[in-house]
Amino acid sequence: MQQKLIEVLEHIDKYLGGSQWFVFLLLGTGILFTLYLGFPQIRYFRHAFQIVRGKFDKQGDKGDTTHFQALTTALSGTVGTGNIGGVALAIYLGGPAALFWMLVTAFLGMTTKFVEVLLSHKYREFDSAGQVAGGPMYYMKHRLNIKLKNGKLIKTGYVMGGIFAFATILSSFGTGNLPQINNIAISIEETFGLNPFITGGVLAILLGLVIIGGIKRIAKVTSKLVPGMAILYFVGAIAVLVVNYTNIWPSLESIFSNVFTGSAAAGGFLGASFRYTFNKGVARGLFSNEAGQGSAPIAHAAARAHEPVSEGMVAILEPFFDTIIICFITGLTILSSGVWTEKFENRFDETSTYFISGQLSDKNKPDIPKLHDLINDKDNSLLYTGVVDIEQGIINSDVTVISSRSVAEDVRVYTGMDSLYTGNLHIIDGLINNDVNEEHEDIYLSGLSLLHSAPLTTKAFMRGFKGGWGQYIVSIGLLLFAFSTAISWSYYGDRAVTYLWGTKYVLYYRIAYVAGFFIAAFANTNVIWAISYVTIALMAIPNLIGILVLSPEVKRTIKEYWIDFKENFGSPD
């Protein structure tokens, strides 16, 4: 059932976030605004720091948070599993060159963030409880309606705003909630042996206590949490880089040398085509910094400011810190440690494990092109259908096991409570057919294979000064990063609920959000990631279309800002 759900979600994502047109829409929007506005991510970078420090604040500015609190709240929403597990996943899928495309996405995303925050802050409102209510749905509602010559108004903006708000609610679960606690629970269990049920229960209670206080309590928590967790994580990464300093330059070369050719096979990594590397790098870049998704503007709308451009400039800093700094450090740590090409003992995930005919090896050069085509969905002719004979956990049939996009080694088959299995496995199109015999339901495979996501980053951090202590830095970092992300996304979701149905339904949303947070601690990882891919695209598409339509207004608003700024403060430094 779970496998079928994953297949459905992946099929949907193939036509949305996983499609070529979505990648070009995302990058194209960033390129267009970067050129149209004259590289604001460079020109306004220093000015943005001055705004964050409060240098140009005015007494009486309306809002619920300071510029710094809005920045840290938005950063806490983006600095999460994408920075620890997402970077590792990008390298696992697309190799070192995928990290380059993550950085490109972040650089262009700095401009996209600037624009979407500017518009969202400009058209923010105050709800019935006196709190700021802002986000892309509000500029859509006010500025994307079509007025005909006869004076009739077609409320296209209301429709787009409604679609965006509903997608935000879905994405608050698919992006900010479910994958965050799932990664926390897995990491804590592997490092400290704590049952995911307990981890989910304790953190769900803490989450509820924080989010019930609204944006002001959220801002206070994140403004203290974000700087501390970033410093802890940075120190751990530097420890790995110092120990593996001889590999830093080769790692940098691998990032930039295969940008337009894809990543070549290395060790257990079987290579990735340019198209695959490009898509995965851009997709992971978006998941990391959320530029264009429209989430961060909801947090920035709460900032105290008398005009919208300054808060847009503050948002320029988000992709810089999130992806260009933290993600790059994570990626360089993984590459310099060498763990991305190594196989480690692990229990195989059934949804990423399958059988192929014959004995193929990544150590045999003629086999590598066949394996490359297989894992990149170019050739399914090798998928095995038939019966596999197992004796005392050892596979006796002429098949090869593929797990986590690598050739599995030292494979053992277990059943029940870690008992070696003897019997037959019925395989259809490479997958274990659980419908044939009920006893197959508790069968699992383990052995050596590549790792991805947080476990891969954990292995990299264990190559530092303190060896095994690195795993604790990753676990604690992941806990803090992911938990802060869940906090911020709860606010995004409740602002979307407010837009659609009013403040009286926010409490019901928060209850559902906390309940989902608890359940996802022990749910299937692949299902959760598949959900997140779809919900990201459902938010990003209407938002990207909206800011493109309003590009002339963006430029006009920036011009007005500088006129006002010079009248009040003189020429900028």
pLDDT in tens, 424-467: 888 998 888 766 655 556 888 999 999 988 889 889 998 886 66
DSSP state of 303: B
Average pLDDT on 95-102 reads: 90
Whole-number average pLDDT of the chain: 86
Mean pLDDT to the nearest integer, 487-503: 90
Contact 80, 485 (CB under 8 A): yes
- Quickly state the pLDDT bin for 187 (edges 50, 70, 90): confident
- The angle, 0 to 180 degrees and rounded to 10, between the axes of the packed helices 196-211 and 214-243 is 130
Mean pLDDT value across residues 49-63: 81
- Predicted confidence band of residue 378 (pLDDT cuts 50, 70, 90): low
Determine the pLDDT at residue 468.
73
**In this prediction, what percent of the chain has a pLDDT beyond 90?**
38
Residues across the chain: 573
**Residue of 292, 340, 222, 333 whose CA lies nearest to 539:** 292
Query: Predicted confidence band at 469 (pLDDT cuts at 50, 70, 90)?
Result: confident
Q: How confident is the model at residue 524 (pLDDT cuts 50, 70, 90)?
A: low
Whole-number Cα distances in Å, 162 to 15, 215, 539: 22, 22, 11
Of the listed ranges 230-239, 464-473, 561-570, the one predicted with least confidence:
464-473
Give CA–CA dist 509/515, Å, rounded.
Answer: 10
Task: Quote the CA–CA distance of 298 and 305 in Å, as a whole number.
Answer: 14
* pTM attached to this predicted model: 0.85
Both tokens of 107, joined, read: 């650089």
**Which pLDDT value is given to residue 127?**
67
CA distance 45 to 555: 17
Grade residue 259 by pLDDT with cuts at 50, 70 and 90: confident
Evaluate whether 323 touches 288 at the Cβ level (below 8 Å).
yes
Across the strands, what pairs with 423? 390
Tens digit of each residue's pLDDT (9 = 90 or more) over 263-287: 888 888 888 888 878 877 877 776 6
Residue-wise burial string across 465-504, b where 16 or more C-beta atoms lie within 10 A, e elsewhere: eeeeebbbbbbbbbbbbbbbbbbbbbbbbbbbbbbeeeee
pLDDT at 1: 61
Which sign does the torsion angle of CA 10, 28, 302, 202 carry? positive
Identify the weakest region by mean pLDDT among 169-173, 399-403, 567-571. 567-571
Domains of the chain: 2-35+43-342+459-569 (1.20.1740), 346-449 (no CATH)
**Per-residue pLDDT at 532 exceeds 80:** no
